[in-house]
Structure formats: structure tokens, C-alpha cells
Structure 1
Amino acid sequence: MSVTTGVYAADAAPRRIAGPVPLVERAAARAAEAGEAGRAAVLEEFWTEAARRGTPLVEALDDDPDHCAVTFLWRGHRATRQVLLLAEGLTDPDDLAASLLSPLPGTDIWHLTHRLRADHRGSYRMAADISPGPPPASAELLRRRLLSLSAHAAPDPLNLRRTPGRPPDRDTSVFALPQAPARSWTGRRGGVPRGRVERHRLPAGVLGVERDVWAYLPPGGADSRLPVLVLHDGDLWFGRLAFQDTLDALVADGAVPPLAVLAPDAVDRATRDRELAAPESQVRFLADELLPWAAGRWPLTTDPAHTLVAGQGLAGLASLHAAFLRPDRFGTVLAQSAPVSRLDAGAVPSAAVRLDVGLREKEILDHHRDLYETLRSHGCPVTLNAYNGGHDWACWRACLAEGLVGLLGH
């Protein structure tokens, strides 16, 4: 039973830094010294260097080695009226105006700097307002303008690190500060044996519709019945995030035993929200249809102690329900950023539980703390991992591999 230390540390709170940071300030000074004739060349040099380094720009703080100055940049032009940053865990959806970048007079540089603890990881998108005329003076009209603008946000063109979203969502840009936990098993690694990924369609059952399921089988076959991970949102994890590469690396390193993964598609956002809002039906599908179907095809364990269920957001809540309602099938659960306030914890499971949650998730963080204390007081083996980030696939990818090692590793 454990909890990550420093879960509620105040020093993890982001803080906007007023005015340009040294890198931007030097560019402004050089542009001013160069005059009209040389300004364009100075600014071109600045943007070339920004593209080479990649954005956001990260600068050390001389008086604070545990924090960094993180500067988001946008290259504006004559028609640019305002630029909005939409960053998970940094942008307040109720106060979008607080996430507007500032123009640097006499240049095409728009900038916004946050002081962030050096273990922060997150994703973001940006949107430039090129509407004719100045921005609205009224706070309410400005709020509406920015809300409309946010629908057109896109990845940062100067940041090549991306994470995909479920269509129709756009990709998002990703950044990780120097002390962010390493993503040791993310990405395809050369020279390791490859597992097999298959896609199957289950007949209509308790959900009332057929359902596609991704199946990962480890390389080299199995000498005995394989432990099983049931992972929600298979269309994202295997269809877009290439989670099989992470699994191959984990198995090759011996960080987890060879395992099978069953990952049902979420289909689309509306279907996902509707089905996960009815956890009893979802749990019946997983426990009474998916697992028996898979056990009839491959040498998989039926021992709940070696059967793990995992998910993010609403799928994390459904995973907790699975462990609470069907301990005969699920003995381990990994729930990431789940809305746990909706969970009836009256019947505490005997399952081993890992809870992942972001420090930037406000109320949901407190709810995870309360659930952790409730489970711990009932003797449930439970871990609470609070990472420095938000409600964010960029964070969940890193934490999922770490969680599998903690729950399944030797």
C-alpha cells in the first residue's frame, strides 16, 4: 500500500511569468538595434533557432533548479489579432483570456511563459485569431470569441512531437520537462521480437451491437496460460498509439511476463460515453463475453489474480466497477484519471488497485485521495500515483507502462 510522495505539493502549481524571458528579450533587443533594414533577418534567425530547438522553449531558472521557464511561441503576421494556448492542465476553460499570448512590439513574436515544475509533462494546441477588426472589448463577447476560436486549435507547427487523438479530434503537441519520468518503453525498438496483433469482431451480445476487439499475443507463443490485460479504447491504443511497441519492449526487457491484451474498440465518442455510463452492462460484456470468447481461442488464464483491467477517464471508472462487481474475473485494476466520485465504494474489492491522476486535475485529485484512503482503510492493496500533468493521453501513455510493471512485473 503506497502513495506517491509530494502528491499535493504546492510548488507544482503553474504560474504565468509576466514579460518576455531572456531568449525572447534578446531577440527583441537585437531586432530593435538592427533597425528597419536588419529586423527581418534578426527575426528570421530567431525563428530558425526556435524551430531547431523545438518549442516550447525551456529555460532554466537560476534561482530555482526545480522549476523551468516554459515559453510557448507563435509566429504572427499583419492579420493576427490574438493567439490562444490550449494546454491540458494549464489553460482554464472558464478563463480562456488568461491563456492568450502577448505580442512583442515591433516583431512577429507572440509569447506566453509559464513557470513549471521540472517534472511536468503535457500536451497542447494553439489557435490564431485572424478575424477582421480588433478583439471584442466586452469580456463576455471576448469569451465567446475565444470559445469559438478554440474549435480551430491545431498542433504547434514548431513542435514535431505529437500524440494522436481519436477522430475527429486533431493531434496535439507534446512537451516534457527535464525531470519528467522517462518513457522508457514508448516507441518502436529495433532488435526485439514482435508480438502479434489481430483484430476480431465479436457477435452482438449484452451491448446489443457487434464489437471490434484488438488482441495482442506475445512473441514466441506460450508455455503456460498467459496473464491477461483487458484494456479499454483499443481503437486508440492499437489503432493510433501503437501500444504493441510498448508491450514488445516490456516483455523483451523482462519488465512484465509475456501477456495477452484484449482491447475492445470504443467506436466513437458518443458510443463510448453512452456505454461507459452504464457500467453494469460494460462489465458483463468484459467478464461474460469477451474473456470466455478469448479463452476459447488462445491459452489464457482464467485466474482473476492474473487478469488486469485498465482504462482512462470514464473507462478507468468502468475498470474500477469491473473489479468491484466481478472479483471472480478481475483481480487487478489500473484506473487513470477516473471520475471516482461516481463510484460506490461500499463494497471494497479484494483486487490490487493502482490509481493514476494528474496534479493539474483539480477536484478529481481530491476524489482520488479520498478513494485511496477508503481502500487503504479496508486493507485493499492500493497505490496512488500522482503525476505532474493533466487529464492527458501524453501522461497516460507514460504511466500505463509504469503501472503494468508495478502490477504485473517480476
Structure 2
Amino acid sequence: MDIRASRPGFHQVTFRWTEDRPAYDVVVRLISHTDRAYDDGELDKYLMVRDERSWALTLELPSALRTSYQLCPMYGALVRGEVVDDERWTAIMAAGVADPGNPLVHPAGCTYGNPGPASVLELPEAPSRDSWVTPADEHGVVRRCASEDGSVVSVYEPVEPRGLAVMFDGARWTDLRLPVLLDNLIGRGEIAPIRVVMIESIQGLHRHDTLPRPEVFAPFAIGTAERWATDGPTALIGQSLGGLAATFTARLRPDLFDVVVGQSSSFWWDEKELSGPAVIAELDHGPATSQRFFLEAGTTEDLREDNRHLADVLTRRGYDATYREYEGGHDYACWQIGLADALSWAFPRS
């Protein structure tokens, strides 16, 4: 992979793939851009060009971009010039592999539509993720707690915790080495020592069987926060549908949850049991509380309009609310940066 400056605010990135067997096409799947291009019917611009046994593609991308990506060799049929329906797009995502020419890799399970690892592209003006990868002195220990009903949480425990963060999708954050981040932030004095409970599984169910169901996720998150509470503030944190679930649950117990962190929250979700528009309406017209909100969304995400709307509602109603947009998409590579900033905002060392 080659990265070169182009016009102000942009860099040219050349991706390369050397095939071990002939492919019909190779798709560069940038979580930030290619997924949206599929929705817009413009996938051809992310197809590599073949030269003998090598493939390459040069893209001009924003200099502050940070994104996960995979290279997707297609062996069964052409993609170029064809109509790519949902079934075909699912096959393209499933074919993705990490870029062998890039040492920055996300662990398996962090990329929608693909169970394998993904590469991470960081352009020169993108925020650094050094706090996630640089080893630090340990300031907390991690223990995994399993219940008889199949529920599993991992608990990061520092000495004398002065705050609690409860997080959905805990297995992903464990894979992404969240304890390393916490050790670094606590060690550098950027946050107070906090206990972090990462919810890995509720009743042994998959996230798609829990996060859309308030009768499942809300009592568990509330019970978890009550069990592990400290004398300091308590935050409930989620990404995507987890961000909606966190906001919904926190509104049920404003006496328990002081802070809500929602990253790329799915406020577009509108089902009978759980409705993003209904949650926003309740925040707009329901009783005001002293809760604080940290919200963010990516520049390539359609859902940022709903998040902007909620931020406007919170500001108008006098809440302590932070909203920002990052250069990127619906992506753990971006949420890593936002989570570190959210923790520093929610739990400053006094």
C-alpha cells in the first residue's frame, strides 16, 4: 500500500493484491466508503484493475480518514458492470481478507458481514490510536464472570475505582484490547480509576436477539450497574444499536445512569418494542434530568442526521451534551478513538 499527498486535505492511497489463483474481480471494501457505494449502486469505483497476476487501485481519500478495510477477491463471477443485489453483496463481504501489505489489523469479528480480521487504514491527519496499542503498566485486572443463565461479563477492576462504565458488545471491546487503553488513560492521569463492565452475552443470546428487545437488555444493564456501582458517576455506553439501547435504558433510570455515550447510535431504528424516534421524542418532551450525553457519528453515515437532531434537542433542553463527527463510517476503528475521548470527558481525574 502506498500513501501520497495530493490536493490539500486529501491523500492518494494505492491498494495492491497479488493473487494466488485467478480472480474475476477484487473489491476494495472500505467500511467508510465502499459500503455506502453499494447502497448507492456505485460499487465499480472500488474495483481493482488487473495487470497479469497483480491487482491495484488508487483512491483519493480525506487526509483525516481512519477506516477498517478488507480486500475481497471474487472467484465465482464478475462484479464489474453487473447488478449487485443483497445476496451478491453478502458474498462480497464474506470474501474479504486483511491486506497482507498492512501490519495494522483489527481482530476477527469486528467487521460487519465478515468473521475474519480486517486491516486498518490511518491517513496522516487521522487521530492516533497509540493508547490502544502501546503497552502500559497495569492499573487494573480483568476477570470474566459467567452466570447460570448464560450471561457473561468481563470486569476491569482498578485499585479504588471512582466510577463505573457499563458497555454493550463487551466481547468486541475485549478483543480490541480495551484494558490496555484503560491502563494507559489511568496511568497518565487522563481519567479517574474506573471499573468497566463489558457485557459479552445476555442469557447466552446473540446481540441481534438482545439489543432490539428492551425486555432483555434493559433489566440486565440496570441490574449490572446496580451490582457494580461505585461512589462515582455511572456511564452506559453503546455503539450502533447498542447506542440506542444505552439511551433507552438510561432514560428508565436517570437516578442510576449519570452519563450516556452513544457512538453511531441507530436512532433510525423504529420497531414496536424499540423506537429511536420515540426515544428522541421522550428526550424532547419528557422530564429533563441532569444526565450528560456524548454522541458521535461518521461523516459517511446516513444516521448522522438523526444523531444531529438528538444533539439539537439536548442542547435546546439545556443538557450537558457533546456531539461531534469524525472522518469515517460505522466502524470500530473510529469508535476506538471516540471511546477514549468519551471516557476522558465522562470520568476526568479531579
Q: Which amino acid aligns with 2:75?
A: I
Ranges in structure 1 where 5+ consecutive residues have no aligned partner: 1-54, 204-208
Does residue 273 of structure 1 match 2:220?
A: no
Deviates more, 1:141-150 or 1:352-361: 141-150
Other-structure match for 1:226: 162
Residues of 2 paired with 1:163 and 1:120: CA distance? 16
The answer to whether the Cα contact below 8 Å between 1:273 and 1:314 also exists between their aligned partners in 2 is: no
Residues of 2 paired with 1:409 and 1:339: CA distance? 27
In the TM superposition, what is the alpha-carbon distance from 1:83 to its structure 2 partner? 0.9
The answer to whether the Cα contact below 8 Å between 1:84 and 1:146 also exists between their aligned partners in 2 is: no
Q: How many residues align?
A: 329
- What do the CA deviations read for 1:214-252 (whole angstroms, capped 9, x no partner)? 11111xx21xx62101111122212x1121010000000
Other-structure match for 1:182: 128
Other-structure match for 1:345: 280
In the TM superposition, what is the alpha-carbon distance from 1:177 to its structure 2 partner? 0.4
Residues of 2 paired with 1:77 and 1:311: CA distance? 40
Other-structure match for 2:341: 402
Residues of 2 paired with 1:268 and 1:129: CA distance? 38
Other-structure match for 2:27: 84
Does residue 292 of structure 1 match 2:226?
A: yes
Other-structure match for 2:144: 199
SS in 1 for 2:282: coil
The answer to whether the Cα contact below 8 Å between 1:97 and 1:143 also exists between their aligned partners in 2 is: no
Other-structure match for 1:59: 4
- What do the CA deviations read for 1:257-306 (whole angstroms, capped 9, x no partner)? 0111111113799721121112254222121x2123335xxxx22x6xx0
Q: Which amino acid aligns with 2:168?
A: H
What TM-score comes out, normalization by structure 1 length? 0.74
Residues of 1 paired with 2:44 and 2:180: CA distance? 40
The answer to whether the Cα contact below 8 Å between 1:67 and 1:117 also exists between their aligned partners in 2 is: yes
The answer to whether the Cα contact below 8 Å between 1:235 and 1:267 also exists between their aligned partners in 2 is: no
Other-structure match for 1:15: none
The answer to whether the Cα contact below 8 Å between 2:150 and 2:202 also exists between their aligned partners in 1 is: no
Distance 1:109-1:115 versus aligned 2 partners, 3 A rule: same
Does residue 246 of structure 1 match 2:193?
A: no
Residues of 2 paired with 1:248 and 1:78: CA distance? 44
Other-structure match for 2:300: 360
The answer to whether the Cα contact below 8 Å between 2:165 and 2:235 also exists between their aligned partners in 1 is: yes
Percent sequence identity over aligned pairs? 28
Residues of 1 paired with 2:330 and 2:263: CA distance? 9
Does residue 97 of structure 1 match 2:44?
A: yes
Other-structure match for 1:113: 58
Residues of 2 paired with 1:351 and 1:335: CA distance? 13
RMSD, aligned α-carbons: 2.5
Other-structure match for 1:129: 74
In the TM superposition, what is the alpha-carbon distance from 1:199 to its structure 2 partner? 0.7
In the TM superposition, what is the alpha-carbon distance from 1:144 to its structure 2 partner? 6.1
State the structure with more CA Rg. Answer: 1
Distance 1:141-1:396 versus aligned 2 partners, 3 A rule: closer
Residues of 1 paired with 2:79 and 2:177: CA distance? 44
SS in 2 for 1:265: strand
In the TM superposition, what is the alpha-carbon distance from 1:377 to its structure 2 partner? 0.7
SS in 2 for 1:196: strand
Does residue 379 of structure 1 match 2:318?
A: yes
Other-structure match for 1:170: 116
The answer to whether the Cα contact below 8 Å between 1:97 and 1:146 also exists between their aligned partners in 2 is: no
Distance 1:228-1:77 versus aligned 2 partners, 3 A rule: closer
Other-structure match for 1:213: 153
SS in 1 for 2:125: coil
Other-structure match for 1:332: 259
Residues of 2 paired with 1:78 and 1:201: CA distance? 45
- What do the CA deviations read for 1:67-88 (whole angstroms, capped 9, x no partner)? 1011211124672321111110
Residues of 2 paired with 1:370 and 1:272: CA distance? 26
Distance 1:280-1:371 versus aligned 2 partners, 3 A rule: farther
The answer to whether the Cα contact below 8 Å between 1:84 and 1:150 also exists between their aligned partners in 2 is: no
Residues of 1 paired with 2:132 and 2:117: CA distance? 17
Does residue 389 of structure 1 match 2:316?
A: no
Other-structure match for 2:271: none
Residues of 2 paired with 1:153 and 1:60: CA distance? 27
Ranges in structure 2 where 5+ consecutive residues have no aligned partner: 269-274, 284-288
Residues of 1 paired with 2:106 and 2:203: CA distance? 18
Aligned match for 1:157, one of 86, 93, 100: 100
SS in 2 for 1:356: strand
Residues of 1 paired with 2:291 and 2:86: CA distance? 46
The answer to whether the Cα contact below 8 Å between 1:127 and 1:154 also exists between their aligned partners in 2 is: yes
- What do the CA deviations read for 1:313-340 (whole angstroms, capped 9, x no partner)? 1111111112222101101011111112
Q: Which amino acid aligns with 2:209?
A: R
SS in 2 for 1:264: strand
